[in-house]
Amino acid sequence: QKDRQILVANFAQINDRISSLESKVSNYKKRLNEQRFKSLLDSLTKLPNRAAFDERYNYEINLFNEQPSDITLVVVDVDHFKSINDRFGHTAGDITLQVIAKALQKSIRQTDFIARYGGEEFVILLANTDRNASYEIAERIRKRVEDTPFKVTNKYTLSVTMSIGLSVMDEQSDIKTTKQLVNAADQAVYAAKMSGRNRVHHAD
């Protein structure tokens, strides 16, 4: 009887230790997940950052290689952003980027992925979206930002525009690699700026 009581007491202690360890492991995993989430988030705009975009981009490309579909890369560059910082200060520039981020989020679909790529540049991935549909989405994004008033000071409100470049990877496209897709979108943004800014340009 005594041996059984000692054995039961030992089992109870072991169960308490296991419960304590499980609780510690659970809290540790939770902290790791929170740290990972923060590491993939842009602190200013609260959008996914470049590292998060790279992860999603690689996922979409791998998916494309297994089951070809349409992938559109949208590169968004704010026009004359440096002049906003120069005229009104970096705080005004930061607020402008935050407002743009919210406008962009409201303009895309739930299946699309948006990230701040760096500086005044944003990138959007449109999965299963052909050339015509991607242009319509990009144009809607451009128009929403253009129509959004940006109050940079108590007395001054300005209009902000964006130049947008698109590139598509599909079975018919000449674009076959991730590098070609990015380069084509960058060249399309450059073409949009050279042709007057505040417009959408599709890579040939």
For 149-167, the pLDDT digits (tens) are: 888 777 778 889 999 999 9
Supply the pLDDT for residue 123: 95
CB 70 within 8 A of CB 125: no
Mean pLDDT for the chain?
85
Q: Residue 171's pLDDT is what? A: 75
Name which of 181, 196, 195 is nearest 75 in CA terms. 181
pLDDT digits (tens, 9 = 90+) for 91-132: 889 999 999 999 998 888 888 999 999 899 999 999 888 888
Question: Mean pLDDT for each 10-residue chunk of the chain (204 residues)?
Answer: 74 75 65 62 92 89 82 94 91 92 89 91 90 91 90 80 92 80 93 94 85
Tell me whether strands 162-169 and 71-78 are parallel, antiparallel or unpaired. Answer: antiparallel
| pTM of the complete model | 0.79
- For the record, the structure tokens of 121 come out as 């540049």
Nearest C-alpha neighbor of 74 from the set 109, 124, 131 = 124
Q: Residue 21: which H helix or E strand, with range?
A: helix 2-39
Amino acid at position 15, single letter: N
CA distance linking residue 16 with residue 64, whole number of Å: 49
Is residue 121 flagged as an active site residue?
no
Catalytic, out of 66, 120, 136, 146: 120
